[in-house]
A and B are shown apart, each in its own frame.
Chain A
Amino acid sequence: MPEQSEFSDRKTIFFITVLSAACALVLAILASCLAQPKKEAKELDQTKEILVATQIYNKLTGTFQIEESPHRWQMAKYSKNGQLVASDVAVKATPEEILAVARARIKPFLVDSEGNSFSFQEKRINFDHYLLDNKKTGYADLPLKLAYEILPNPDGKAASKPVGYIIPINGMGLWDRIYGYMAIAPNGVDVIGISWYDQKETPGLGGNIAEPIWQKLFVGKKIFVLDPHAPGDLVRAPIGITIVKGKVKDVLGDSPRAVAAVDGMAGATLTGNGVTKAYHSSLDPYRPFFIRLHSQEGSSHGS
């Protein structure tokens, strides 16, 4: 075959070496150029989901929002001093604003198994290393668990108390692990909102857990199934949100369990079961912390 004899072994090796070197060079240049945008894109995505859980960012409209009355939110826009002001027109939140709001208002801290809170500096733990080590398996089973406090909209008044806390949720869906957040009110019982930032469930069925429409059902639910005869008793009350099969009002009616139950999604029972288990296993270890919050809230309200 005349064509092949044109290419000696040496020429072939030379060709392959040059080709590999050229490919590697092009890719290395590209990778280093895109390293920063990639990191920012990932951070932005996760930050958006934290803000969705805390009801600061609305995924459907792409704008910020502020609470004007319990469980009702008004569109807002970002103003220069970091405050969110109500707005009647939809002003889309830019990536820089989203990151700025999150950095200013979402503060990570650690909770131990007795409900005491510590900052990362106090315990001399590097936040990034801690995240890297435990992201996959979750924080709920660690001796020092991750939580975030939500600081209120800065409106010039003196340093205010947190308006809520975020617990990272980690569990197993139908296909793979699911990761999300749940934002809880300062009384340690009511849910502010939820979000899921990493899930590989069936699109259209289990994948609906990431849709704002279904997530809205969680607003105002309680994470404890409170005994109506002893509503302040959080020690013995079962903890965790339950996804029922069907609609809550059909399945549970007026049962006390209805305040901690959410409508299921048709055709996604197994994902719903996984979500229920995820909430139970991720929230239960924080129970001492919630009990502490509830008693602090009770004493501050003079109950």
Chain B
Amino acid sequence: MWMGNYEYINLFGLWIQAIFIENFLLANFLGMCSYLACSTQLRAANGLGVAVVFVTTISGILNWFVHTFITAPGALGWLQTFGINAAAIDLNFLEFLIFISVVAAFTQILEIVLEKVSQPLYRALGIYLPLIAVNCAVLGAHLFAIARDYPFVAAAIYIFGSSLGWWLTIALMAAIREKIIISNIVPGFRGMGITFITSGLMAISFMGFSGINIAQPTGAVAKIATEVAKTPLESIITQK
């Protein structure tokens, strides 16, 4: 449940895969709205990127616990220790509602804490914090990690990597847009049009990473299985 079959090298591979190979913005198209709106300036993009990484990772860890102990099918089995037989109850239909509430609540708490703890940071992030709660990439990263059934550490690494990849992409786009604004673009394409075309070209270049498969678990359980499968065949023939 915690590490599953994942060795440290697999976790590193998973991290690289989440950032580059399955880049959330360019391969999965999640988090586009704030990406398009806030990528005009590098400073704003960086501020938003850091906030997204922080919110996604921490609320992702919280949501993993929610999934494992509340909303997965048969997850309520731990109530057995209190004498309540709840293993048959399936709360899967509440998953979306609880996930988005956790993200929204965490964002709200973060905003309040930041306001008290660090005024400059609060003012820098300002309007972006509430936006993060409805960022597709946040909920998307959580849902993807759940759908793939990652154990805890792998899920945390995957979610952290996905949000880092998001930050990387928005920073790249901001850097490009700062330069493009002084170029002579066809009037209709200025602004959003050229941003889409540029994103498409970036997506093609990121496609070059596809097929690199370094995130598969190769841990202890998998090794035992391959040993069992190698039984001598000649002995079976002579048995007949």
Contacts and interface: CB of A to CB of B under 8 A. Distances in A.
Interface string A272-294: 00000000000011011001100
A110 to B, nearest CB: 15
Contacts of A295: 240
Contact of A172 (B216, B231, B234, B240): B216
A38 to B, nearest CB: 10
B226 A141 contact: yes
Interface in B144-161: 148-149
A113 B228 contact: yes
A114 B93 contact: no
Given A27-B94, A141-B225, A235 B211 contact: no
The size class of the interface chain A forms with chain B is: 20 to 34
Interface residues of B, number: 22
B236 interface: yes
Interface string A1-39: 000000000000000000000011001101100010000
B182 interface: no
Nearest to B27: A175
A115 B236 contact: yes
A284 B226 CA distance: 11
Contacts of B117: none
Given A136-B149, A288-B236, A291-B237, A114 B94 contact: no
6 contacts: A23-B97, A24-B97, A31-B93, A141-B226, A141-B228, A287-B233
Contacts of A288: 231, 233, 236
Nearest to A235: B233
Interface string A139-166: 0111100000000000000000000000
B205 interface: no
Nearest to A176: B148
Given A114-B231, A142-B225, A288-B233, 4 more contacts: A27-B97, A31-B93, A235-B234, A235-B237
A100 interface: no
A24 B94 contact: yes
B239 interface: yes
B213 interface: yes
Contacts of A172: 213, 216
Contacts of B149: 136
A270 B211 contact: yes
B85 interface: no
Given A235-B234, A288-B236, A295-B240, A174 B93 contact: no
A82 B50 CA distance: 63
Interface of B: 90, 92-94, 97, 148-149, 210-211, 213, 216, 225-226, 228-229, 231, 233-234, 236-237, 239-240
Nearest to B233: A235
A292 B149 CA distance: 37
B209 to A, nearest CB: 12
Contacts of B216: 172
Contact of B210 (A30, A115, A136, A174): A174
B22 to A, nearest CB: 8
Contacts of B213: 172, 174
A136 B150 CA distance: 12
B5 to A, nearest CB: 9
Given A141-B228, A143-B228, A288-B231, A174 B211 contact: yes
A27 to B, nearest CB: 5
B236 A291 contact: yes
A12 to B, nearest CB: 14
A30 B93 CA distance: 9
A288 B210 CA distance: 37
Contacts of B240: 292, 295
A141 B236 contact: no
A85 B74 CA distance: 43
A285 B230 CA distance: 8
A27 B226 CA distance: 45
A100 B40 CA distance: 60
Contacts of A270: 210-211
Contacts of A284: 229
Which among B90, B210, B225 has the greatest number of chain A C-beta atoms within 10 A? B225
Contacts of A31: 90, 92-93
A287 B231 CA distance: 10
A31 B226 CA distance: 41
A113 B231 CA distance: 7
A227 B233 CA distance: 17
A285 B239 CA distance: 18
Interface in A248-303: 270, 284-285, 287-288, 291-292, 295
Contacts of B228: 113, 141, 143
Contacts of A23: 97
A113 B229 CA distance: 7
B94 A291 contact: no
A270 B90 CA distance: 37
